[in-house]
A and B are shown apart, each in its own frame.
Chain A
Amino acid sequence: MIDAIVEAIRLAVTRIPDDVVSALREAYEREDNDVARFNLGNILRAIEIGRTESIPVCQDTGTLTFFVEAGVESPFLGEVKDWLVEATRKATTEIPLRPNAVDVLTGENSGDNTGKDVPVIHWELVPGDAIRIAVLPKGGGSENCSALAMLTPGEGWEGVKRFVVERIKACGGKPCPPVVLGIGVGGGADYSLLLAKKALLRRVGERNPDERIAEIEGELLEEINALGVGPMGMGGKTTALDVKIEVTHRHPASFPVGLIVQCWANRRAFVRIKPDGRVEVWQ
């Protein structure tokens, strides 16, 4: 089981998902600016090297975050956390990953990507007897641009757009654009950010099933790409590859907007553990 999770982590850090690669290729074809093409060309070459040599595409293999949909009838509920921690340790030396877990007070690096509540595990109990784990390795440069806005309800969706566009403009090249944005609206401060991060697991190009939300995703993507920030903040047509919005009901007085900024390396992989112990790994 631990080996299957290590395999998923390896897949996530060494292979950029096909939907993301297609979006990057299209961005490369669209650009006529030499500097933007230098950066997008390097990105496409780095992806190819990661895939063929099975090495991490980006040296920032991130903080490992796992989203677990835990079937309440699975016989393995009590063991999953230990497996995830052990797999993180093993992946760090085997793949290898960069050790990124640091004590908040002393700054000391644990050396194996584990520590207090690290790797981060988000749990959701679901009906059934299977466990589905999503692996999301996320770098620090892009995470530093993430933000929360507590808008007034009067500012509404126009306020959401303004907040996101201004934030991306201010961040410039820092989060490694072209970025993918996860946005969570509603649910309180905490839940909006969690929804925003989980939204990054959706495929690039896949719209929210609610047409009204899908429309806002498209409008925001267009506005952000009109900024001209471009790949690595040095100008160009593509600043974002996609925008993912998830919504939930809100308190009538609140309008929370969680924004999670993801770099172009929108990495992910999945594991499913069946009740008989069989495991599937995919991307």
Chain B
Amino acid sequence: MAVRLRTPLSTEDVLRLEVGDVVYLSGEIVTARDSAHRRILSLPKEELPFNPEGAVIYHCGPVVRKTGEGYEVVSAGPTTSARMNRYLDGVLDLGVRGIIGKGGMKAEPFRGRAIYFAFTGGAGSLAAKSVKRVRAVHWLDLGIPEALWVLEVEDFPLLVAIDAHGNSLYR
């Protein structure tokens, strides 16, 4: 099945997807890697620079180029999600309903509440084509790769690799 979805994701959006489905995702996604996850979980929900309810977190540290007024994404493929297993329950508890990454994660925490979308690791130049613009960047003190980039994507082609019913494509 191929479907088009827009963020924020609803619980219904999440529950109707199954592993192997292709999703063309549009709307806002936020990048977060190890350090950003630690900071997300150290702050009260109302102090976060994004609304986690229905949000999609992208495990990605982009290559960016400074433009006159902001930044442009040059290359932006996913990073290895397994490093973020330790923060997974925490972010899903905040209401996050989608994770984009590569390499897979623990399947159990997704059950009943979220989806793990895979994009192809290393295909950063292709992923960047789906990024329409950088809406904002927070926590640049963590460095460019680890900062929280708020990106607007259009028809980002993703594979449902872990669904909310306990199924996973990973071997």
Contact of B125 among A38, A46, A144 (CB under 8 A): A46
List CB contacts (< 8 Å) of B128-146 with chain A: 128-129, 142-146
B114 at the binding interface (Cβ < 8 Å):
no
Q: Is there contact, CB below 8 Å, between A60 and B79?
A: yes
CB contacts between A and B, total, < 8 Å: 152
**Min CB–CB distance B33 → chain A (angstroms):** 10
Contacts A56-B125, A109-B145, A232-B120 given: A97-B170 contact, CB under 8 Å? Answer: no
Contacts A56-B74, A173-B170 given: A109-B146 contact, CB under 8 Å? Answer: yes
**Min CB–CB distance A230 → chain B (angstroms):** 7
Q: Is the interface of A mostly helix, strand, loop or mixed?
A: loop
Q: Is there contact, CB below 8 Å, between B102 and A232?
A: yes
B41 at the binding interface (Cβ < 8 Å):
no
List CB contacts (< 8 Å) of A47-83 with chain B: 49-50, 53, 55-61
Q: Is there contact, CB below 8 Å, between B170 and A233?
A: yes
Q: What class of interface size applies to chain B in its complex with A? A: 35 or more
A107 at the binding interface (Cβ < 8 Å):
yes
What is the interface size of chain A, counting residues whose CB is below 8 A from a CB of the partner? 49
Q: Is there contact, CB below 8 Å, between B169 and A59?
A: no
Interface-side segment among B7-15, B43-51, B57-65, B86-94? B57-65
Complex interface: chain A residues within 8 A of B74 (CB): 55-56, 59, 96
**Min CB–CB distance A25 → chain B (angstroms):** 15
Complex interface: chain A residues within 8 A of B75 (CB): 55-59, 61, 98
Complex interface: chain A residues within 8 A of B35 (CB): 107
Contact of B159 among A38, A111, A172 (CB under 8 A): A38
A235 at the binding interface (Cβ < 8 Å):
yes
Contact of A58 among B119, B123, B171 (CB under 8 A): B123
B: which residues have CB within 8 A of A?
20, 22, 35, 60-65, 74-77, 79-80, 82, 102-104, 118-129, 142-146, 157, 159, 161, 169-171
Extra contacts besides A38-B120, A98-B75, A234-B159 (15): CB < 8 Å: A35-B169, A45-B126, A46-B127, A50-B125, A57-B122, A97-B63, A107-B142, A108-B143, A109-B142, A111-B144, A139-B122, A172-B170, A230-B171, A232-B121, A234-B169
